[in-house]
Amino acid sequence: MVSHVPGGSIMELLVTLAVFYHLAALFASLTGVFLALCRLRGMATERRLIRPLILNGELHLWLSGLLIIALGVALKGMPYFDNPKLWTKVILITLWSLNSWLLRHYSRSGLDQRRIAMFAISLGSLIYGSFLGVAKPLAYGVAPFWGLLAGYAACLLLTGLLLQRSRRWLSSPAIA
């Protein structure tokens, strides 16, 4: 789309770069969480990679996400916030950040029920956060807030069930 705002194309280029930065951070986070899960299921993974991938991924998701918001406000003004999709993302980010903190401070050995639940929140939030990010046709009230929130709850539940079953497919004998 051609911008009619002076300097608009520069702003749109900046938004594109910020989104690309956001996606790079997302890939780092997802890779880190996946490697952590493989390791907890007893697979040989490069341990030194996991922590920096997760920590840097989270930090840069925040930085790039805030940059996208700042550019969005600069382009659209305050109506930018009149978007249930954005507020669903705020709830998701709050739960995800709290959970990441708990996950780092909870004892590191094994994959018991509590850790499975924490990993489900971590992975489920990365998956649904991505869905909300790309769900632009559902923005600005097309999908109601409660509907988007129910989708998040369903995604967490499904991810939890998937992780329970991961005992079967995410274990060393299956890979060997």
Which residues of this protein are in contact with ligand HEM, per CB under 6 A? 19, 22-23, 26, 61-62, 65-66, 68-69, 89, 93, 96, 125-126, 129-130, 133-134, 136, 139
Tokens of residue 4, six digits: 């009619």
CA distance linking residue 129 with residue 142, whole number of Å: 18
CB of 172 to ligand HEM, least distance (A): 28
61 vs 116 by CB, closer to ligand HEM: 61
108 vs 136 by CB, closer to ligand HEM: 136
CB of 66 to ligand HEM, least distance (A): 5
21 vs 43 by CB, closer to ligand HEM: 21
CB of 70 to ligand HEM, least distance (A): 9
CB of 38 to ligand HEM, least distance (A): 20
Which residue in 68, 92, 91 sits closest to 80, CA to CA?
68
Judge residue 20's burial from the number of C-beta atoms within 10 Å of its C-beta, 0-12 exposed, 13-18 middle, 19 or more buried: exposed
CA distance linking residue 37 with residue 111, whole number of Å: 9
Contacts (Cβ under 8 Å, ≥6 apart) of 118: 99, 102, 103, 106
